[in-house]
Amino acid sequence: MRTLKYILARFFAFWAALVFVSTMLLVLIPIVLIGFAAEPRRSRLFQSLIQGWMTVFFVLTGVRRSFRGREHFRKGENYVVVCNHRSYLDPPLSSPGIPTANKTIAKAEMAKIPLFGIVYRRGSVLVNRKSEESRKASYGKMKDVLVRHGFHMCIYPEGTRNRGSETLMKFHDGAFKLAVETGRSVIPALLFHSEKVMPPNEGFYFWPHRVAMHFLPPVSPAGKTVAELREEVHALMTHYLETTKA
């Protein structure tokens, strides 16, 4: 039975890759065209397009999504959204799952992929984590996303996929420093079951399974240090992941 699932997961992975590439080609021209629009209209159009694209992708690949807590996004306010990270499926689940326009911090090397790089750059703040200069530049761009453009900034504070058994890895300071310095509240976002669809320790593997994204109430940075805010959010997310069934 395990061998059969392993074989089927390879078939599903091929189908998911085919669906992703073919649907990406359909949205590529509109994505290029909206690049001529000025902000904030450009990112709002991009968000609507990506939400539609990912809805089609998840339906055709048999992955059912559910969302909880979207009412915590108050009209006229923007947030630093922090997510747990266990799978390559997390970005296509999280960024389109945020109700309104947002940017995601992302690895610069992924932008070099032909065609996909166009989509990737449009929705991301790129960073080369090996370059101190790039990290400083990306931090300034994230501030612009929040303060100048009024969008949400989506960040994975663990820094990389959690491949172990611990609920959450240690958080890096970046997201919380950003919140403290800009005065934007943090919305913790919990992703469930994405690792069952695309396990972090498997290669070419895809298994249709339901996934979920839950948003918690905003956590204000007012009167808190970066470390205090980081630990408060880490504790909230850990407790929620360990006590909530999704």
CATH number of the domain where residue 53 is located = 3.40.1130
In this prediction, residues 172-195 reach a mean pLDDT of 98
Question: pLDDT tens digits, residue range 145-167?
Answer: 999 999 999 999 999 999 998 99
Q: What's the total number of domains in the chain?
A: 1
Within a 13 Å sphere around the CA of 157, how many CA atoms are in the beta-carbon half?
Answer: 30
Residue 1's pLDDT band (cuts 50, 70, 90): low
Q: Which two tokens stand for residue 27?
A: 């949205």
What pLDDT sits at residue 131?
A: 85
Nearest to 49 by CA among 150, 147, 119: 119
Q: Does the model's pTM come out above 0.75?
A: yes
- Structural domain of 179: 2-243
Q: Rounded to whole angstroms, how far apart are CA atoms 17 and 5?
A: 18
Burial call 182-209: b when 16+ CB within 10 Å, e when fewer: bebbbbbbbbbbbbbbbbeeeeebbbbe
Q: Are strands 65-68 and 211-215 parallel, antiparallel or unpaired?
A: parallel
What pLDDT sits at residue 3?
A: 86
What pLDDT sits at residue 99?
A: 95
What pLDDT sits at residue 246?
A: 86
Question: pLDDT tens digits, residue range 47-90?
Answer: 999 999 999 999 999 999 999 999 999 999 999 999 999 999 99
In this prediction, residues 17-44 reach a mean pLDDT of 95
Question: pLDDT tens digits, residue range 102-159?
Answer: 999 988 888 889 889 999 999 999 998 878 898 899 999 999 999 999 999 999 999 9
